[in-house]
Chains A and B, each alone.
Chain A
């Protein structure tokens, strides 16, 4: 039986004042897949995530979630509520809140105003948060303000916020940026352990990291899919070598 698609983007175009950021993009992804998206600067990777999460609207094209929900007509928080979580390129956490509070705000559950007035953190939720804190290695910093964390720790906290949300589709923009080698390896292990249960799109530049996590890689170039396949296939693809890897080899 054919696997269900978690995400299908078809004929997507997006132009920013004359610059074609995304051009006739087609992208399909199975449920439970861990997909890595690479591509040179300006290839449209982050714009693609913006379009999925409702931060900007495509000029034309459709983006469907779980084969039924059209995302292009929804806004950010509606899309979130369908089960799509996003980690930004620059770590975006609440700097004035403690690490613990950051996770409280991200836990799945009601998002209503009146609920927020009377909501309390239940013992189960507290346990869940401490489980996540262990996974992201911040258990001893639960009461620290997120603003004083190191860059890599903020990255992890933001990944932890996605875990708390329990999203079906995780969009992870450059998770390894600013991390030490050891932290990068651990991040890769974490993402691998999440695949299957969640579907994950990872955008990354670090090819060692990509090699660690990637089963399937999609290469974006000038806003469109250049090719996809395994890391080796992609690295040996002539078009890719020409636009991307070849250029970096020349340096």
Chain B
């Protein structure tokens, strides 16, 4: 219906992608290191990490902003995707590890006689790649089935998801859980024949992250415009009406919950080779809460919002961690409170919010103009104040 708006969106997305996958990598690869235009390897790596967080944020928003399900366990699925690829990366280290064994270092250290059976298929990249989406997806399927069938809603759902991720976190901390305990999986060397320690591989991973954000964005954009997306928002606004309109709301919630777990898993899989480590702290409850903060700051219920929120908050975080490292948690908390109290639409909603304030002020000055039943989205044309003067 809104054709020009859609065209503008495509244009912006194309421009952002072009900058993301052509301009920034070129500025990283070609200018001399001391040049003003040069982007350091460190920065490219950091941007790649932010973008995987953006993927996680979109998955939070599809649940929270679009379906009204505040999942506080999304980082669990992110971490599971990360672990799945991390296992493959561990097995590619081969004899280059500290102990020069075929077994990953931590297994030698903990005295494993041989590779545990569930590790064996992770020698194949394709298996690990499938596990990246299927493991989070399956867990979400089982958990979601039980939760939604029992009609667990609202804050109870949030608490349960948080308990789930906390439980998983404690489990992964155990050395006998075969995933490296609190050290996690690290010291990767190769991925698909590329040396992970070179700038060009990291650049490639960064480009993959941009493409993943784009793909997830496009998918979510499609999903939310289908009838499914309409039912999704209907569940958020009035679940009763949905039930009494013949929709099995639980099935719709389950579907979107599983899809979001898979999306988060993909983000985690690209996070791990860029950061070089995955450990249980990634599924800590606070990580999921952080993702909720990104979405709230960026703009809940939009798809651009989570991307902007994830990048902006994390950029600010890495700046703050260097400048005033002790205060980050307090700053983040304050950011969240401010966003919830004063910016309900987040960064993305700011222009509309400011326009609304301006209009209110104008209406206050010219009370004649207050139109009952006026649609929220309709902006008063600029000529109106003149007409009001004539009245």
Chain A contact residues, CB within 8 Å of chain B:
53, 55, 75-77, 80-81, 85-86, 88, 92-97, 101, 104-106, 111-113, 115-119, 143-145, 148-150, 161, 165
Contact = CB atoms under 8 A, between A and B. Distances in A.
B262 to A, nearest CB: 15
B237 A95 contact: yes
Given A97-B233, A116-B227, A165 B246 contact: yes
Contacts of B255: 113
Nearest to B232: A116
A94 B228 CA distance: 14
B358 interface: no
B248 A96 contact: no
Nearest to B245: A106
Contacts of B227: 104-105, 115-117, 119
Contacts of A143: 1
Interface of B: 1, 223, 226-228, 230-231, 233-234, 236-238, 240-249, 251-252, 255, 373-377
B252 A92 contact: no
A81 B245 CA distance: 8
B111 to A, nearest CB: 48
A57 to B, nearest CB: 14
B238 A150 contact: no
A96 B302 CA distance: 13
Contacts of A111: 246-248
A94 B248 contact: no
B270 to A, nearest CB: 26
A83 to B, nearest CB: 10
Contact of A113 (B241, B244, B252, B375): B252
B250 to A, nearest CB: 9
B180 to A, nearest CB: 38
Given A94-B234, A117-B223, A117-B228, 8 more contacts: A77-B244, A77-B247, A92-B240, A97-B234, A106-B245, A116-B226, A116-B227, A148-B373
A95 B233 CA distance: 10
> What's the dominant secondary structure at chain B's contact region?
helix
Contacts of A55: 244
Nearest to B252: A113
B237 A94 contact: yes
Contacts of A104: 227, 230
Contacts of B374: 148
Given A92-B238, A119-B227, A161 B245 contact: yes
Query: Which residue among B234, B244, B376 has the maximum number of chain A CB atoms within 10 Å of its CB?
Result: B244
Contacts of A106: 245
26 contacts: A76-B243, A77-B244, A77-B245, A77-B246, A80-B244, A80-B246, A88-B244, A94-B233, A94-B238, A96-B233, A96-B236, A97-B230, A105-B245, A111-B248, A116-B227, A116-B228, A117-B223, A118-B226, A119-B226, A143-B1, A144-B375, A145-B376, A145-B377, A161-B245, A165-B245, A165-B246
Contact of B237 (A80, A96, A144): A96
Contacts of A101: 230
B376 to A, nearest CB: 7
Nearest to A76: B243
B227 to A, nearest CB: 4
B248 A77 contact: yes
Contacts of A97: 230, 233-234, 237
Contact of A86 (B226, B230, B242, B244): B244
Contacts of A53: 244
A116 B251 CA distance: 12
A77 B227 CA distance: 18
Contacts of B243: 75-77, 80
